[in-house]
Amino acid sequence: MKETAQILREKGLKVTPQRIAVYTMLRNSMEHPNAEMIYKALEPTNPTMSLATVYKTLDYFKHLGLVQELNVGEPSSRYDAIVACHPHTVCSVCGKVQDLEMDELTELHKKLKQELDFEVEQEQLILYGTCARCRKKA
């Protein structure tokens, strides 16, 4: 995996411990955390970091295409370091947000672009329901 500092530098960002921490955390996380979750997760290792910095950092990253913002019907946005367009599932029982592998969507997306009178830049497909684990518990 490419070094985080290197990636930030290539995007023309000044490299700071806070930015490295946020981006590294996001790249290693599967949970699609929101700002608060990122802040809490980094608190032990970066005790001086503020929540405002997390927000500002995420905003930079988003505009530079380093992260993707997800709106899954919660009051706060979640973030994903995988920026390639891919669908997500949201379990309404446990709240878990997961990535979904689906090449068919990418292909359809290409086709769509040609047929639609709308130039697609980004796409979000979110499936709400109950995940396998929660279904078994019930």
Cα distance between the two ends of the chain: 39
Find the shortest distance in angstroms from Cβ 134 to DNA. 22
Q: Which of the stretches 6-14, 18-26, 42-50, 126-134 binds its own copies when contact is defined by CB under 8 A? A: 126-134
One residue of 94, 95, 120, 137 binding its own copies per CB under 8 A: 120
Structure tokens at 104: 């068919």
Count of residues that interact with DNA, criterion CB under 7 A: 26
Q: Which is nearer to DNA, 20 or 105 (CB)?
A: 20
Instruction: Report CA torsion sign: 131, 132, 137, 138.
Output: positive
Find the shortest distance in angstroms from Cβ 24 to its own copies. 25
Q: Please tell me whether residue 75 binds DNA under the rule CB under 7 A.
A: yes
CA distances from 69 to 27, 64, 73, 130 (A): 14, 12, 12, 22
Binding-site partner at residue 92 among its own copies, DNA, none, CB < 5 to 8 Å by type: its own copies
Footprint on residues 4-23 left by DNA (CB under 7 A): 9, 13-19
Count of residues that interact with its own copies, criterion CB under 8 A: 33
